[in-house]
Amino acid sequence: MRQPPARPVAAAAGTAGAPGTSRLNKRMAELGMCSRREADDWIAQGWVKVNGQVAPMGLQVHATDRIEVDKKAQGFQEQRVTILLHKPMGYVSGQAEDGHTPAVALINPRTHWREDPSRNRFSPPQLRGLAPAGRLDIDSVGLLVLTQDGRVARQIIGEDSSMDKEYLVRVQYGDVATNVQAVFPAQQLARLCHGLSLDGQALKPARVEWQNPEQLRFVLTEGKKRQIRRMCELVGLRVVGLKRIRIGRVTLGNLPVGQWRYLGPHEQF
């Protein structure tokens, strides 16, 4: 977590928006040290130094400034957990809404997958600040990541993230529910891959192919609200089942519905 030597912190401190500078919390997030929120917490604790001096909140820094983080912060970060949940239908990803239960309510000792290879053991502090890294609709199932680690969240849903997310999507075409592949026009499949727009913005290219005659495989690098369902509507398909099976290099595997496991120490998105 160390950067190359640079000039004293006084030279780095400046007014907001000064040319060539950025806020310290933003710079730390860009360097992958932590999330902006974590950075603010660490700065408030006096755990962050810039060019050898304890950094004040709101400090503006240059790219060449040396940022150091106290080992206390590093140890605190290492204790943070990331959890993989096989979300069932009927649960919302984030805050409770319209009487529906948030997915985090499923994180308890009873639903911890017995075959989890991790040595971690559940404790209530692991729920503190545990938040979903991305959404999965109430009527969709599959892999949902919940994390206390801002670095993980940034990897998956940061502004500059282009991480693959893979889905299996069961569809109907009009009244056709079996062998949909035989009647669905090839040019419409091509449009799903590239050529559609949502909310006035062109979608990034996607990989879409038939997994079997009734099910498509989608690989997306963005995550607009209800994106797959809305894409399908634009080409005349109706989604009757949607399951996320992979985020980056982490797969759902054989994790049972409604159960969860810890992200292993050697797993990376």
Q: Which residue has the tokens 């009734």?
A: 214
- Report phi then psi at 99, rounded to 5: 80, 0
137 catalytic? Reply is yes
DSSP category for residue 175: T
Set 40, 65, 137, 149: catalytic member: 137
Beta strands 101-102; 91-92: pairing state: parallel
| Residue 53, CA atoms < 13 Å, CB-side half-sphere | 15
Q: Tell me how far apart the alpha carbons of residues 133 and 80 are, in angstroms, rounded to a whole number.
A: 14
Exposed e or buried b for every residue in 91-110, given b needs 16+ CB within 10 A? bbbeeeeeeeebbbebbeee
For residue 219, the SS3 value is strand
Annotated active-site positions, please?
Answer: 137
